[in-house]
Chain A
Amino acid sequence: MEYGRYLRGWAQQALPRLVLAPSFATIVLFVYGFIVFTAYLSFTNSRILPKFNLIGFENYEKLFGLRHWSTAIENLVIFGGLYIAICTAIGLTLAILLDQKIRAEGVLRPLYLYPMALSFIVTGTAWKWFLDPGIGLEQTLQSWGWASFEFDWIKNRQMAIYTIVIAAVWQTSGFVMAIFLAGLRGIDNEIIKAAQIDGASNLRLYARIIIPQLRPAFLSAFVVLAHMAIKSYDLVVALTGGGPGRATEMPATFMYSYTFTRNQMGIGAGSAVIMLMMIAAVIVPYLYAELREPRHGR
């Protein structure tokens, strides 16, 4: 009897931990454990197969000496900056407009959101045609009589990176809209009514009250977009294949090609570690801010 009760008590104590164990173990091994493994490999002279003798920072020195890598970093800065800024602008605008109790919101909203359901491969394929001078926008507008119209960015080494921005913005800005719409719907109506009674104009209402209240939504959107930008791989492959030449190389395509096709695993691992550090530079301050503030709204 005593023993039975003791066992039940123990089970009740242990059960939550037992339930968590598989998930926790999976994440610790697959994510944290393997990050340590990758970091270790980046200090070895692994090529096709992993080797375990340490060679110091040699891979990182090589990595930052490579022109491909500096192209990839430059492209990431251009792509990431524009992608985050434009997605946020379009997403916020759409959310504010949709939030005006307009007619047919239920019909319009899915039209902005649906690209999210498409894969980056399909998005890349569609935009590859749309941007192709031979069959896409350029050809169409020329055949409609605008003979001097030119739009050949996808074939242009200087401009090709911007075509990736265009396709990525198309794919994701609906999702950003959803984040902001969720934020707008979470704002306390009383505050807005009070401001309206005080005679605040709409512009002031948005600039002073509503947009500042969206701070968590801005943060979430920024974190999600920065994360997507740094790891983006599929879209580049489908849209430009990293070309023309190597003009649209990104860190993710660099990492894949050095690890799996050029058999420079040490350098590939090093580039992955740099990608991790870039994401950490975005995420860690965010998590810190999230955890410090008392959470509300739950």
Chain B
Amino acid sequence: MVDVALAFAPGRRFNPWPAVIFISLAVLALLFLAPTAGVLLSSIKTTRDIALGQLWTIPSELFWGNYAEVLANPAVHRYFLNTFIVTAPATVASIALGSLAGYVFAKLPFRGSNLLFLVIVSGMFFPPQVILIPLFRLFNAMDLIDTLYPIIIIHTAMGIPICTLLMRNFFATVPNALREAAILEGANEWQVLTRVALPLSLPALAVLATLQFTWIWNDFLWPLIFTQSDEKRTIMLGIVNLQGQYSVAWGVQGSLSLIASLPTLIVFLFFQRYFIKGMTMGAVKG
């Protein structure tokens, strides 16, 4: 914490700075909220009202028809289910593999393990486009195109580098003495990991859970490549698809966008307080 607020007030005179800073921050916050507020407003209005140029006004009465339309659409249920089927296992699997690898790199290094670490972590820098064609050919040859498996597999694989990096950095802050004490007590490596190291790493796990869940839930490119039928679409593809169907029904599009964002927003608001802490300790070298 850089404590300069005090320095702004050398004497006891009236100090305007905290108020000025607070007001600038509040105005910026309003700008950040504006687009979402617009979508929210549109979602509670009739198409007619929006077409009449009333998109940005506060409606005199709330109209829930758009939400009813979206929630009653069986396609939307399927999109949600598919997205969940992809997101849950891929988030858990990538964090599990990353924790195992991170633990080895932090606590059980061996000759050459630094090089392996570099090879794995560098994997996060490559653009998806550069592996897209072979992946499509591979899953096509395995007859897995238009199933959800390729999306789960690729999100697990592409999540390993960031999970390994963050967990390695976090485990490195767990004192070696703790591990040695546990081993003297008769614990094996697995017990040290699950009973000592992981419970101490909850902030890092929270950051990773947020990042991976958000990233996979919101992804568009991989499902676009690997799925073809409407049956297998995930929610973000579904939004784009339904934009054709509801092309002028702005309100329906708005409510769908908000409903689709709700899971990630909830996860995010729940975990965001860990975020800065986790970043200070792990992802970004402090």
Residues of chain A touching chain B, judged by Cβ–Cβ distance below 8 Å, are 13, 15-17, 19-20, 22-24, 26-28, 30-35, 37-38, 41, 50, 94, 97-104, 106, 108-123, 125-127, 129-130, 135-136, 139-140, 143, 170, 174, 178-179, 181-187, 189, 192, 196, 202, 205, 210, 216-217, 220, 227, 230-231, 233-234, 237-238, 251-252, 255-256, 259-260, 265, 268-269, 271-273, 275-276, 279, 283, 287, 290-291, 295-298
Contacts and interface: CB of A to CB of B under 8 A. Distances in A.
Interface string B253-286: 1000100110011011100110110011001111
B272 A297 contact: no
B28 A112 contact: yes
B129 A20 contact: no
A217 B284 contact: yes
Which bracket fits the contact residues of B?
35 or more
A186 B257 contact: no
A131 B25 CA distance: 24
A282 to B, nearest CB: 9
A101 B22 contact: no
Contacts of A272: 127, 129-130, 132-133
A101 B1 contact: yes
Given A30-B157, A122-B257, A113 B25 contact: no
A217 B104 CA distance: 27
Contacts of B109: 16
B286 A122 contact: no
Contacts of A33: 134
Interface stretch (B60-68, B84-92, B118-126, B195-203): B118-126
B33 interface: yes
B74 interface: no
What 9 A-B pairs have minimum CB-CB distances, sorted nearest first? A119-B218, A186-B286, A117-B268, A34-B131, A34-B134, A37-B134, A231-B127, A182-B279, A234-B220
A126 B221 CA distance: 19
A126 B39 contact: yes
Q: Of B101, B269, B276, which is in contact with the most chain A CB atoms at under 10 Å from its CB?
A: B276
B18 A102 contact: yes
B97 interface: yes
B50 to A, nearest CB: 7
Contacts of A255: 129, 132
A31 B25 contact: no
B1 A290 contact: no
Contacts of B21: 97, 100, 102
Given A178-B276, A181-B276, A27 B120 contact: yes
Contacts of B129: 231, 251-252, 255-256, 271-272, 275
A50 B137 contact: yes
A35 B285 contact: no
B135 A30 contact: yes
Contacts of A125: 39, 239, 243, 253, 257
B218 A216 contact: no
Given A129-B38, A220-B284, A233-B221, A97 B25 contact: yes
Contact of B101 (A23, A108, A230, A290): A23
A185 B38 CA distance: 34
Interface of B: 1-5, 7-8, 17-18, 21-22, 24-26, 28-29, 32-36, 38-39, 42, 50, 53, 55-56, 97-98, 100-101, 103-104, 108-110, 113, 116, 118-120, 122-123, 125-135, 137, 154, 156-158, 160-161, 164, 169, 172-173, 189, 214, 217-221, 225, 236, 239-240, 243, 250, 253, 257, 260-261, 264-265, 267-269, 272-273, 275-276, 279-280, 283-286
Contacts of B35: 123, 126-127, 130, 170
Given A121-B236, A125-B239, A16 B272 contact: no
A15 B189 contact: yes
Contact of A113 (B113, B236, B243, B272): B272
B131 A35 contact: yes
B234 to A, nearest CB: 10
Given A116-B268, A183-B284, A259-B133, A16 B7 contact: no
Contact of A135 (B50, B133, B157): B50
A234 B157 CA distance: 21
A227 B126 CA distance: 9
Contacts of A101: 1, 3, 5
